[in-house]
Amino acid sequence: MYKKFAAVFFSTAFALLMIFFPSASVAAVSDALKLWALTVAPSLLPFFICSNFMYEIGFTDKLAAVCEPGVRKIFRTSGECAFPFIMGMVSGYPVGVKIISEARISGNISKSDAEKGISFCSTSGPLFMIGAVGAGMLCSEVMGWIIAVSHYIGAVINGIFYGRMIKNERHSVTELPVVIKKRNVEDRNYNSVLGRSIMDSVSTLFLIGGYMAVFMMVIYFIEMMPVEMPPWYGGLLELSVGCRDTAAYVYYTEMQKTIICTAMISFGGLCVLFQSMSFIGRSDISIKTFLMSKITHCIFAAAAAFVLCKAVSVLKPQSLGVFAYGPDNTVMEMGSTGFIYNLLFSGGMLCFLSIIFILIVTFYGIGVNIDKVLKKYKNRRKA
């Protein structure tokens, strides 16, 4: 009852704001679409297509078998969580959560493994942290690297923490009621699989663009209020806006800006959280567990950023950067790197990742074949 009332109230209020302030609504949507078209779409589309295709043809099963011992020992999950962890690290929000949710829906991982997995697979990408925030907004690649390293350290600590906190289920994966569709690895019609992967990836990108437009309008409406807000408030809604405003705030030191940006990126903001929950909501993964994991990720990453900033300031006092503005005294806007640059960067990362995957699976296959040959040889000698 209360949820329905809240939904009607906020949707009505939002519609009235768009009617009474059409110029602000148009400007917000325009900025959101620019950010989506120039940065988000070219950065995520190759990874969405690749992850869907590799998952559908069963390529990730071999990677899971290779990574099973290490992932089981560190995070206490199945090897299936290795693929979303790697893809999430190199691509960014919300790829890791999307892959985890699809693995859960298809019945390849248990609920406990999925909830453990989202605690360390929900990460931002290096292009955003090092390029956009570090070099672009903070004008310091060192600060960008500190943010990225702290963010990933926080994710690993978060995964270790929830790997011990969440208990494993006693039921087998196939007995769980969440199984909606079962992946047919034997159906290797690559043309149809590629087509489905592209269609699913494009629809997912439009879903993300819609969320970005909505939350950008919320930010514009808040800025119209006669209330002075702290520079990081935008990060609670849309993290790129929060990082931009924090970088432009002259009363913060470089260390404070680095820690605040790390915390905001690790939390993700409501825009990223709603994007992720749109995928999680299709399965039986606990939304509360996901939200708690983002809060603890924010805390762990901020603590790691504090330690790294202290270490860098002692070892290289001038390396954190001496200014937070660009040469023309303005902060670089998100999306200014351009569509082609972001597409080439994400494509290069994808090619590098694909080569690593192929090498891993190839050596794994060679090892399996050698084991089979040795077993046959031993059996023949015994006979």
Rounded to a whole number, what is the distance in angstroms from the first to the last CA of the chain? Answer: 74
Q: Per-10-residue mean pLDDT for the chain, 383 residues long? A: 70 81 86 82 80 77 79 88 86 88 88 93 87 83 91 95 83 43 53 82 87 87 80 83 87 90 93 91 91 96 94 71 41 51 65 64 54 53 53
pLDDT at 70: 83
Q: Which residues touch 233 (CB under 8 Å, ≥6 apart)?
A: 222, 242, 245
Would you list the DSSP string of 72-138? HHHTSS-GGGHHHHHHHHHH-TTHHHHHHHHHHHTTSS-HHHHHHHHHHH----HIIIIIIIIIIIS
pTM, whole model, 2 decimals?
Answer: 0.80
Q: Which residues touch 251 (CB under 8 Å, ≥6 apart)?
A: none
Q: Tokens 């570090």, residue?
A: 134
Nearest C-alpha neighbor of 148 from the set 132, 163, 169: 132
Tell me the one-letter amino acid at 291: L
Q: How far is CA 336 from CA 45, 132, 343, in A?
A: 18, 9, 13
Rounded to whole angstroms, the Cα distance separating 18 from 70 reads 51
Number of domains in the chain: 1
Return the number of other C-beta atoms located less than 10 Å from residue 243's C-beta: 32
Q: Give the domain extent around 295.
A: 2-382
pLDDT at 174: 43
Backbone angles phi, psi at 2, to 5 degrees: -65, -35
Do residues 120 and 133 lie in contact, with contact meaning Cβ atoms separated by under 8 Å?
A: no
pLDDT at 344: 66
Please name the helix (run of DSSP H) or strand (run of DSSP E) that holds residue 226, with its range, or none.
none
Rounded to whole angstroms, the Cα distance separating 256 from 247 reads 10
Nearest C-alpha neighbor of 269 from the set 216, 227, 230: 216
> Which residues in 87-96 are b (16+ Cβ under 10 Å) and which e?
bbbbbbbbbb
For the record, the structure tokens of 350 come out as 């994808």
pLDDT at 263: 95
pLDDT at 366: 54
